[in-house]
């Protein structure tokens, strides 16, 4: 038997109708959102599998590849906040579908890349067309799920990353091998075209499977709908008391900028590792990029899948979120540095182990990081604030490959160890900043995280 601690928010979260509504909403919405992010992450990172082939077949230089890998995030950053505001105006169902269809068309166009300039233009356009997907989903989930279960939902959404790499890495490697056997096209062309087409199909499907708000949800009965609407309305009121109101106040709020820096550091670790993962694995095991490298590259994401889901589900108190967030950032930094050391010292088993732990830790900490801004942002302020955090934070994805390449050029080593080590430094900065939230005034919506007493 359970009894409430007396907190009305906790009592609401414990109601049977609300629990049923949350369960139904998760079953109806999360699979489609995971699929959208799955194909988005696949189309962002599959370029790593084509690096060597683009250099050989189209003369795309290492410098142009590094610029193209990162310039995605410039287009992404420029259009992120406007896209999020348009999502707020047109509704998540239509706008998320539009995003997926347009970026899928651009992703497929990579099959026709002819030179450095075209490669960089397409990478920029991919960022422009995909802008708003991730922060739009984060905002969408913060309007559907109360704070107590929000990290769990963010974690389920994040599962698209490991799924895209577990399935996507062998898929990309397999499509390249299959395409090379056809005779009329290159393997990398087949990979880009097929994986871009998947995004178009996912976007069309989103029109049928997403619902803009609990009030419009046909899959909820009246009691469930009322319970969910009431608790989210209550959360909105206390978030309005805590956080900024309006677009410009949100974009000038110091807490929004604080979490932007944390997210920037996270993205340096994520994309600095992800973009070069196939090449790093190939170097460790002494094989060319292909099916075998694709399978081994999927292993870290398999471990990350379980870590992300387990810790996301359990991170339902303020103390757990702060402690686990700090620990995961520290682990991310240590293991990225460790993977560089293993490569320099020809330790393939240790290298794969360190990469696996790095992926597991940065996947786990992502949903926890997003719990903080969604605890005090709502309405138009959420659209602007979440968009700003994601857009500027994602510039870490632009900085990471350029920084890694520049450091390797400045301090050349056979394994490129110093470029890898540089990525880990930022994770330690993020760890200190997450720990620093201990000294913040607790957001009123965090009362939802207070435990329910059991007897």
Structure token pair of residue 249: 């106040």
Under the banding of pLDDT at 50, 70 and 90, the label for residue 156 is very high
Residue 175 has pLDDT above 90, yes or no: no
* Mean pLDDT (the chain, rounded): 82
pLDDT, tens digit, 9 for 90 and up, residues 342-360: 777 778 788 788 888 988 8
Residue 442 has pLDDT above 70, yes or no: no
Under the banding of pLDDT at 50, 70 and 90, the label for residue 363 is confident
Please, are residues 423 and 361 in contact by the beta-carbon 8 Å criterion? no
pLDDT attached to residue 34: 94
% of the chain residues with pLDDT over 70:
91
DSSP string, 131-166: TTHHHHHHHHHHHHS-HHHHHHHHHHHHTHHHHHHH
Residue 221, SS3? coil
Q: Which of 314, 403, 304 is nearest to 362 (CA)?
A: 304
∠238-311-206 over CA atoms, to 5°? 70
Residue given tokens 């994805």 in the structure block = 397
pLDDT attached to residue 412: 75
Q: What is the DSSP letter of 415?
A: T
As a whole number, mean pLDDT of residues 66-90 equals 84
Count Cα neighbours of 63 within 13 Å in the Cβ-side half-sphere: 3
pLDDT attached to residue 4: 38
As a whole number, mean pLDDT of residues 158-178 equals 81
pLDDT, tens digit, 9 for 90 and up, residues 215-265: 989 998 899 999 999 988 888 887 777 767 778 888 888 999 999 999 999
Tell me the backbone φ, ψ of residue 440, rounded to 5 degrees.
Answer: -80, 155
Residues in the chain: 455
Mapped to the 3 state alphabet, what secondary structure does 381-397 carry? HHHHHHHHHHHHHCHHH
pLDDT attached to residue 352: 84
Rank 288-302, 321-335, 392-406 by mean pLDDT and report only the highest.
Answer: 321-335
CA distance 433 to 322: 10
CA distance 92 to 156: 18
Helix (H) or strand (E) holding 27: helix 16-45
As a whole number, mean pLDDT of residues 152-162 equals 89
Q: Which residue has the higher pLDDT, 401 or 156?
A: 156
Q: Where are the alpha helices (DSSP H) in 287-413?
A: 291-314, 318-344, 348-371, 379-393, 395-410
Give helix then strand counts, H and E, for the chain: 20, 2
CA distance 373 to 155: 15
As a whole number, mean pLDDT of residues 299-327 equals 85
pLDDT attached to residue 9: 47
As a whole number, mean pLDDT of residues 293-314 equals 83
- Average the pLDDT over each of 220-234, 288-302, 304-318, 323-337 and give the range with the smallest value: 288-302
Under the banding of pLDDT at 50, 70 and 90, the label for residue 5 is very low
Global pTM reads 0.81
Question: 327: burial class by Cβ within 10 Å (0-12, 13-18, 19+)?
Answer: middle
Residue 6 has pLDDT above 50, yes or no: no
- Average the pLDDT over each of 13-17, 244-248, 310-314, 409-413 and give the range with the smallest value: 13-17
Residue 396 has pLDDT above 60, yes or no: yes
pLDDT, tens digit, 9 for 90 and up, residues 282-301: 777 777 666 677 778 778 88
Task: Please state, as a whole number, how many other Cβ atoms lie within 10 Å of the Cβ of residue 408.
Answer: 18
Helix (H) or strand (E) holding 453: strand 453-454
- Average the pLDDT over each of 102-106, 159-163, 243-247 and give the range with the smallest value: 243-247
Q: Which of 452, 432, 203 is nearest to 333 (CA)?
A: 432
pLDDT attached to residue 198: 93
pLDDT attached to residue 329: 92
% of the chain residues with pLDDT over 90:
24
CA distance 65 to 238: 47
As a whole number, mean pLDDT of residues 70-87 equals 85
As a whole number, mean pLDDT of residues 179-189 equals 79
As a whole number, mean pLDDT of residues 1-11 equals 41
Under the banding of pLDDT at 50, 70 and 90, the label for residue 275 is low
pLDDT attached to residue 444: 59
Q: Which of 245, 264, 271 is nearest to 385 (CA)?
A: 245
- Average the pLDDT over each of 143-157, 168-182, 315-329 and give the range with the smallest value: 168-182
Please, are residues 391 and 292 in contact by the beta-carbon 8 Å criterion? no
Helix (H) or strand (E) holding 233: helix 222-242
As a whole number, mean pLDDT of residues 123-137 equals 90
């Amino acid at each position: 038997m359970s009894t409430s601690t007396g907190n009305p928010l906790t009592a609401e979260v414990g109601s049977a109708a609300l629990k049923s509504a949350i369960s139904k909403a998760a079953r109806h919405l999360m699979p489609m959102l995971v699929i959208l992010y799955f194909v988005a992450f696949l189309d962002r990172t599959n370029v790593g599998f084509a690096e060597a082939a683009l250099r050989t077949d189209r003369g795309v230089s290492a410098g142009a590849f590094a610029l193209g890998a990162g310039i995605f995030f410039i287009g992404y950053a420029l259009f992120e906040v406007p896209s999020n505001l348009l999502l707020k105006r047109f509704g998540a169902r239509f706008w998320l579908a539009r995003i997926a269809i347009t970026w899928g068309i651009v992703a497929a166009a990579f099959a026709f890349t002819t030179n450095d300039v075209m490669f960089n233009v397409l990478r920029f356009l991919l960022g422009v067309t995909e802008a708003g997907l991730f922060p739009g989903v984060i905002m969408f989930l913060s309007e559907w799920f109360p704070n107590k279960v929000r990290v769990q939902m963010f974690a389920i959404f994040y599962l698209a990353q490991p799924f895209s790499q577990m399935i996507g890495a062998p898929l990309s490697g397999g499509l390249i091998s299959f395409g090379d056997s056809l005779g009329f096209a290159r393997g990398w062309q087949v990979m880009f075209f097929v994986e871009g087409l998947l995004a178009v199909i996912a976007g069309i499907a989103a029109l049928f499977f997403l619902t803009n708000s609990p009030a419009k949800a046909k899959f909820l009965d009246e009691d469930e709908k009322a319970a969910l609407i009431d608790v989210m309305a209550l959360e909105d009121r206390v978030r309005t008391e805590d956080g900024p109101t309006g677009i410009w106040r949100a974009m000038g709020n110091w807490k929004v900028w604080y979490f932007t820096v944390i997210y920037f550091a996270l993205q340096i670790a994520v994309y600095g590792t992800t973009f070069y993962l196939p090449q790093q694995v190939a170097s460790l095991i002494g094989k060319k990029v292909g099916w075998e490298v694709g399978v081994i590259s999927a292993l870290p994401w398999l471990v990350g899948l379980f870590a992300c889901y387990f810790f996301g589900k359990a991170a339902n108190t303020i103390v757990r979120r702060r402690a686990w967030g700090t620990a995961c950032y520290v682990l991310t930094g240590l293991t990225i540095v460790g993977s560089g050391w293993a490569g320099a010292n020809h330790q393939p088993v240790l290298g794969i182990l360190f990469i696996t732990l790095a992926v597991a830790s940065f996947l786990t900490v992502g949903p926890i990081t997003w719990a903080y801004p969604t605890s005090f942002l709502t309405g138009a302020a959420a659209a602007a604030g979440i968009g700003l955090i994601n857009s500027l934070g994602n510039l870490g994805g632009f900085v990471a490959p350029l920084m890694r390449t520049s450091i390797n050029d400045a301090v050349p080593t056979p394994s490129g160890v110093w470029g890898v080590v540089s990525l880990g430094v930022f994770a330690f900065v993020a760890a200190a900043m997450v720990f620093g939230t201990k000294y913040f005034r607790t957001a009123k919506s965090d009362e939802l995280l207070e435990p329910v007493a059991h007897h």
